[in-house]
Amino acid sequence: MATPKSRPRDGYPGRALALILVVTVGLVALMFGTGHTKPRLGIDLAGGTSITLSAKSTDPKAINKSNMDIATGIIEQRVNGMGVSEAEVQTQGDRNIIVNIPKGGDKQTAADQVGSTANLYFRPVLALAPSGLQAPAPTDTPSASGSAAPSATGTPAATGTPSAGATAAAPSTGATKQGRPAGEALAADTTPTAAATGAAATGTPSAAATGAAATGTPSAAATPPATPDLSAAMTSGTVPPELAAQFAALDCSKLEQRQNHQTSEGAPAVACSQKQEDGVWYKLALGPVAVFGKDVSKAQATIDTQQGGGWQVQLQFNGKGTDAFTAVTGQLASQPQPANQFAIVLDGQVVSHPYVRGAIPGGSAVISGSFTQAEAQGLANQLSFGALPLEFTTSDVTTVSPQLGGDQLKAGLVAGLIGMVLVVLYSLVYYRGLGLVSIAGLLVSAALTYSIMSLLGAGIGFALNLPAVCGAIVAIGITADSFIVYFERIRDEVREGAPLRPAVQRAWPRARRTILVSDFVSFLCAAVLYVVSVGKVQGFAFTLGLTTALDVVVIFLFTKPLITLLARKKFFSDGHPWSGLDPKRLGARPPLRSTRRRNPSSSAAVKEA
Amino acid sequence: MSRFSNLGHKLYQGEVSFDFVGRRKLWYSISGVIVLVAAIGLTMGLHLGIEFKGGSVYTVAKPGLTISQTQEAVDKIVESHPLVQSTENGKIRIQVSSEEKVSSSVITESLAKGLGVPVQEIEAQVIGPSWGEQISNKALTGLVIFMILVTIYLAIAFEWRMAVAALVALIHDLLITIGVYALVGFEVTPGTVIGFLTILGYSLYDTVVVFDTVKENTKDLTKQNKLTYSDAANAGLNQTLVRSLNTTVVALLPVAALLFIGGGFLGAGTLNDISLALFIGLAAGAYSSICVATPLLAQLKEEQPEMKALAKRVAQRRAADAKAEAARDAGGEDGEDGSGDEQPAGMVGQRGRAAGTTRAKGRPSTNR
């Protein structure tokens, strides 16, 4: 650590202090500003919703332990994607799965999501028409594009630039280098929707984020509709005769009609769009299934970096899916409007029906629609965590009271508070003036922990359960521990007869090493548990990791600079009996080296470890 | 308190010294006895909660029925103090663990009698033991992976002997905690599993802090002939003793508050389950880092050839010193740490020296 001459020996503690105080105040302000002033509580503390799912299957043999376990795992992934929402998924008996979702979660969404079988099909579009409309409105067709290079990690999001008359090319390494494969498919007259919606910008992951984006009005730049033919019953394409009556009767603006109309995978079917497109519900006639959802090997929500930052879903097919997808996109490319589109049908509703301009080889594709972040992630989730091995019906949704009466939480908090007071008293009695520093440090830690937890409740659905509360109470000890390590080091230096300012500096590298090594061990523990485990344990591991990380932040940015500042104050540097640094009390050796004391910079060079 | 603070000073200067490392056998036997008792407790079996064991759930709908009434009625039927909750639509849910000898049909009938509702209106469901199993299995996997990783890390950051000693201390703590659970008969819930996992991190944390000082104290040890490894390690322990005690007290205070206040006001409950695990685990962790891990480390180190040679040199020197002293038959104490100016090289870090030089002052304790 080379230091310029002008720099004081003990650095600029004020800057670090200012930084952490600004951050703390900022987080607390954000917490009050967004109105998330309380951490979400787990089901054991706040109660929640209990959903009972019953498996049903045409084949009674299919309902067995291993299938139930797979289903439990998938549902766990769906309701608890980040692993910190404290949702509990457990089997009950031999055909039921119970899903407990803490209060504050989106009950309806959760209930919809958990049991849905997410059967996903790619079907060619035969015809489409707006339905339940008084006046026609332009369509807004999303686009699909693929990348020619199969990549296990999913190619970076890029719905490429429109390339008029792109031709299909064999996958080649060259293609990846260009970033955009030649198999590019994009209709020149589509609007890459997401730009028209400000959804991505707000980035609110809550399902409650109003569907403003979903039904967003088209931007001014929206291109003319792809189906200008408003006369012929506003239908474009050819409806197969066997579906004609059904198609004509279908009114997708009515909720009860937007159900799953698919009867067989090998026969054409009608379907409704899942969302309104420019305020219009579309109905579509679809050909037989071309690619199956189970052939999607991976799906993730990404931000479309090239087209104005909307949300999209990237897909990766397995071998079988890749072949089928390449074939169907090749076929569709030569068709006239709208038969050059394929529909992505999820549980009987059309999520998106993008154009195809050329065969898309390589096994990866992008679905871009007017997705909000939550929608894109939800879709990606459903695709990745795929089809459940069994079909489930929701047999019961009830709200349950907290498993532990409110008195348990109250007692926990009271105990935590008493514990905190005891710690404060102890450090005041033992460390006197320095004890004040540890109190201030604990307060900063508490403010940071509390505000981060509250914000995470809204951010990633983090919920606090009783074990996590206990973990936080233990964290008081760990945080205080770091202070003690440093204080004792300083006192050791003072015992050696060092004046306080150099003592504070010299004690730091050694205390720092101890703190870092031991905190690393704690953090490793948290990280391993987080990666390996599920449910409650994962939530706890998250809490432990968070508090450990904050411990390091507080000691580096708060405690150390504060002590450095205080060491400049007479009260401490002269070793006032109440400062906790009284050399006499500490039994410092007689100052033989008084010369050095007057000139602390002679040999007391700080060795940075 | 000032006396205590004075004690800290005396410990640091080596005026007062407890011979932890030398009393190895005593600690080992104490630990051995506790672990043995814990093991006996374990053979009696742990009292596992409904999430592990499976069990049955009964739902009763009766207007005006309170949770406490139900709890009373249920406690008369079964002994395991089942969990009673209310649900949104005025129903009351009762969870009974499968350990109950009473069959679920009997429970249903007795409940109907006790609560004054028709038998048909009590819904009974049976729960499989999948969830607790799943959580514990994954926690166990995590535990094993963590132990492997942390051993590697400690072996790199310190040395393999320290890693081994820390691991032994950790297993020691876990065994004791689980054993006490078995003996007291507290319920093991997923919350308890989490309590165990907390101990894991903390026990190692404590050991690492102690080892850090020991490592510092035993640097350049072979360049002198006053102290054996055990002496130096012990001196290090004594220097950090106050800090270890302080950190343990500070960590235990909140947990003790949880245990005694939570438990005192409410009787047995989840709070108790977790805080008991934490309390025992933390206390065992503090004890083991001083009395198990460090003596074991010293034992391992003393096996090293260079340490053996050092021990020999130290013994020779002490013998020579004793002879000289006898010859002088005047008590000019050796190693007086008055000014610290005439210290022999090696063990004594003077002020102004590089941080990291050791500072074991005063006479090594040799109460043997």
Mean pLDDT by 10 residues, chain B (368 residues): 59 68 84 86 74 71 75 75 66 68 70 76 62 72 86 88 89 86 76 75 80 82 78 82 80 80 59 77 85 86 82 83 78 44 39 40 42
Given a cut of 50, whether residue A220 has pLDDT beyond it is no
- Please check whether residue A495 touches B, CB under 8 A: yes
Given a cut of 60, whether residue A167 has pLDDT beyond it is no
User: Which of B67, B193, B271 faces A412 most closely, judged by CB atoms?
Assistant: B271
- Give the closest-approach CA distance of A442 to chain B in angstroms: 12
Pick the range with the lowest mean pLDDT from A169-178, A300-309, A571-580.
A169-178
pLDDT at A218: 34
Residue A144: pLDDT band (50, 70, 90) is very low
Contacts of A402 in chain B (CB under 8 A): 85
User: Which of B9, B266, B352 faces A408 most closely, judged by CB atoms?
Assistant: B266
CA nearest to B338 within chain A: A589
pLDDT at A184: 33
Q: What is the pLDDT of residues A455-470, one digit of tens each?
A: 887 777 777 777 677 7
pLDDT at B250: 81
Residue with tokens 């299909």: A168
Contacts of B238 in chain A (CB under 8 A): none
pLDDT at A29: 84
Comparing B106 with A325, the larger pLDDT belongs to A325
pLDDT at A132: 63
Pick the range with the lowest mean pLDDT from A194-203, A242-251, A363-372.
A194-203
Scan residues 52-91 of B and list those with Cβ closer than 8 Å to A.
67, 83, 85-89, 91
pLDDT at A380: 74
CA nearest to B350 within chain A: A496
- Please check whether residue A517 touches B, CB under 8 A: yes
Pick the range with the lowest mean pLDDT from A197-201, A601-605, B318-322.
A197-201
Identify the helix (H) or strand (E) that includes residue A241: helix A241-249
pLDDT at A108: 60
Given a cut of 80, whether residue A563 has pLDDT beyond it is yes
Residue A341 DSSP symbol: B
d(CA A82, CA A542): 10
Given a cut of 60, whether residue A609 has pLDDT beyond it is no
- Give the closest-approach CA distance of A609 to chain B in angstroms: 8
The mean pLDDT value for A526-540 works out to 76
- Please check whether residue B190 touches A, CB under 8 A: yes
Quick one: A106 exposed, middle or buried, by C-beta within 10 A (0-12, 13-18, 19+)? middle
Interface test with B, best of A528, A538, A584 (most B CBs within 10 A): A528
pLDDT at A356: 77
pLDDT at A274: 74
Using CA atoms in the order B128, B131, B136, B137, what is the torsion angle rounded to 10 degrees? Answer: 80
pLDDT at A34: 78
Scan residues 80-139 of B and list those with Cβ closer than 8 Å to A.
83, 85-89, 91, 93, 125-128, 130-131, 134-135, 138-139
Using CA atoms in the order A422, A423, A424, A428, what is the torsion angle rounded to 10 degrees? Answer: 100
CA nearest to B215 within chain A: A514
Q: What is the pLDDT of residues A438-461, one digit of tens each?
A: 888 888 888 888 888 888 877 777
Residue A216: pLDDT band (50, 70, 90) is very low
pLDDT at A188: 32
Q: Which two tokens stand for residue A244?
A: 């004609």
pLDDT at A101: 76
Size of interface A-B (CB pairs under 8 A): 286
The mean pLDDT value for A318-342 works out to 82
Given a cut of 80, whether residue A585 has pLDDT beyond it is no
- Give the closest-approach CA distance of B180 to chain A in angstroms: 19
Given a cut of 80, whether residue A51 has pLDDT beyond it is no
Q: What is the pLDDT of residues A361-371, one digit of tens each?
A: 777 777 766 67
User: Which of B194, B246, B257 faces A537 most closely, judged by CB atoms?
Assistant: B194
Residue A578: pLDDT band (50, 70, 90) is low
pLDDT at B83: 74
pLDDT at B243: 77
pLDDT at A399: 64
Q: What is the pLDDT of residues A68-109, one digit of tens each?
A: 777 777 777 767 665 566 677 777 666 777 777 776 655 566
Q: What is the pLDDT of residues A342-367, one digit of tens each?
A: 888 876 778 777 777 777 777 777 77
- Between chains, do B274 and A540 touch, taking CB under 8 Å as contact? no
Contacts of B4 in chain A (CB under 8 A): 430
- Between chains, do B201 and A473 touch, taking CB under 8 Å as contact? no
Pick the range with the lowest mean pLDDT from A422-426, A597-601, B190-194.
A597-601
Of residues A53, A88, A52, the one with CA closest to residue A392: A53
The values of phi and psi at residue A298, to 5°, are: -155, 145
pLDDT at A194: 31
- Please check whether residue B194 touches A, CB under 8 A: yes
d(CA B61, CA B57): 13
User: Which of B139, B150, B202 faces A533 most closely, judged by CB atoms?
Assistant: B139
Using DSSP, state whether A50 is helix, strand or coil.
Answer: strand
Task: For chain A, give the mean pLDDT.
Answer: 68
Whether residue A338 is preceded by a cis peptide bond, meaning omega within 30 degrees of 0, is yes
Given a cut of 50, whether residue A331 has pLDDT beyond it is yes
- Between chains, do A514 and B142 touch, taking CB under 8 Å as contact? no
- Please check whether residue A90 touches B, CB under 8 A: yes
Q: Identify each DSSP E strand in A338-455 by its residue range.
A: 342-346, 349-352, 364-371, 391-400
d(CA A480, CA B251): 8
The values of phi and psi at residue B88, to 5°, are: -55, -45
Q: Which two tokens stand for residue A21?
A: 């105080």
pLDDT at A212: 32
Given a cut of 50, whether residue A295 has pLDDT beyond it is yes
User: Which of B145, B201, B271 faces A544 most closely, judged by CB atoms?
Assistant: B201
- Please check whether residue A396 touches B, CB under 8 A: no
Render B8-75 in DSSP notation, one character per residue: HHHHHHTSS---TTTTHHHHHHHHHHHHHHHHHHHHH--EE-HHHH-EEEEEEE-TT--HHHHHHHHH
- Please check whether residue B29 touches A, CB under 8 A: no
pLDDT at B102: 63
Question: Beta B187-188 vs B47-48: how paired, if at all?
Answer: parallel
